[in-house]
Amino acid sequence: MNLQHYKQDIADNGFSVISNIFSEEEIEKIGKVINQIDTSKETFRKSEDLFAIRQFLKEIPEVKDLVFNDNIKKIIKEVFGDQYFVVKSIYFDKPETSNWYVAYHQDLTISVDKKTVLENFGPWTTKQNQFAVQPPLDILENIYTIRIHLDDTDEQNGALKVVPTSHAKGIYRPETIDWNVETEHICNVEKGGIMIMKPLTLHGSNRTTNGKKRRVIHIEFSDQELPSEIQWSERESVL
């Protein structure tokens, strides 16, 4: 697997899709582990439109060896760099009937262990006793996100739509998108494939219209150390 093309693609456009990273059997095993969990914890979010698990790798540690197969480790090492570690993980399940719709946005916050006053860090949010903050731009620019697809995903069941090259424009407010100069790209991903994205890439997704579910594992990676007053809430080495 020659990854240089994908590395360049991400640098230029802010995203790339790579097929056949997980076998049918590996996807089945991951699904089985997820289906056996106790969903009553407060880090789990359940509604008709969405089931989500925050701190996914912390909540379900037995899934870790399945998620970080040789292909994923090779990608982290060669595309991101061997100093990269996990800083956030979420599992999303958009059910077949989901009307869940996500407007265009950038991922501007990181998850940390506590709230405190820090220069250039803010605003802060707290969800389910978890703290998120907008850090300085250079920290966001260094993050990579891997989205592992457990189902075939296209424009009919909520595939991500992105604005290519928007990751290189700093903080980009969605309401200022000039569609005369920007284009929209739909990221279709086959089951067992992944999408890699820079968090500053403008992205969103439409409602499901084809009655097919969409399960995604979203994992963010950084090689940056935070100021000593705070820590990444999910820091985990995988290489």
User: How does pLDDT run across 134-180, given as a tens digit for each residue?
Assistant: 999 999 999 999 999 999 999 888 899 999 999 999 999 999 999 99
Q: What is the pLDDT of residue 42?
A: 64
Q: d(Cα 72, Cα 53) in Å, to the nearest integer? A: 21
- Give buried/exposed letters for 197-234 (b at 16+ CB in 10 A, else e): bbbbbbbbbbebeeebbbbbbbbbbbebebeeebebbb
Q: What is the pLDDT of residue 28?
A: 97
Give the chain's length.
239
For the cut 80, the answer to whether the pLDDT of residue 22 exceeds it is yes
| pTM of the entire predicted model | 0.94
Q: What is the pLDDT of residue 169?
A: 95
By DSSP bridging, strand 124-127 and strand 194-197 are unpaired
Q: What is the pLDDT of residue 96?
A: 61
Look up residue 220 and give its two tokens.
């963010």
Asked if 30 contacts 67 with a C-beta cutoff of 8 angstroms, the reply is: yes
Averaged pLDDT score across all residues of the chain = 92
Q: What is the pLDDT of residue 95?
A: 66
Q: d(Cα 222, Cα 139) in Å, to the nearest integer? A: 8
Q: What is the pLDDT of residue 219?
A: 98
Q: What is the mean pLDDT of residues 10-25?
A: 98
Q: What is the pLDDT of residue 50?
A: 59
User: How does pLDDT run across 52-103, given as a tens digit for each residue?
Assistant: 888 999 999 999 999 999 999 999 999 999 999 999 999 988 766 656 678 9
Q: What is the mean pLDDT of residues 9-34?
A: 97
Q: d(Cα 57, Cα 185) in Å, to the nearest integer? A: 30
Return the domain boundaries, the chain: 4-222
Q: What is the pLDDT of residue 152?
A: 95
Q: What fold is seen in the domain 4-222?
A: Jelly Rolls (2.60.120)
Q: d(Cα 236, Cα 239) in Å, to the nearest integer? A: 10
Amino acid at 87: V
- 45 pLDDT band, cuts 50/70/90, is low
Q: What is the mean pLDDT of residues 231-235?
A: 96
Q: What is the pLDDT of residue 235?
A: 96
User: How does pLDDT run across 198-231, given as a tens digit for each residue?
Assistant: 999 999 998 888 878 889 999 999 999 999 999 9
| CA distances from residue 98 to 35, 126, 152, 207 in whole angstroms, order as listed | 19, 26, 16, 7
CA-CA-CA-CA torsion for 14, 18, 21, 24, nearest 10 degrees? 120
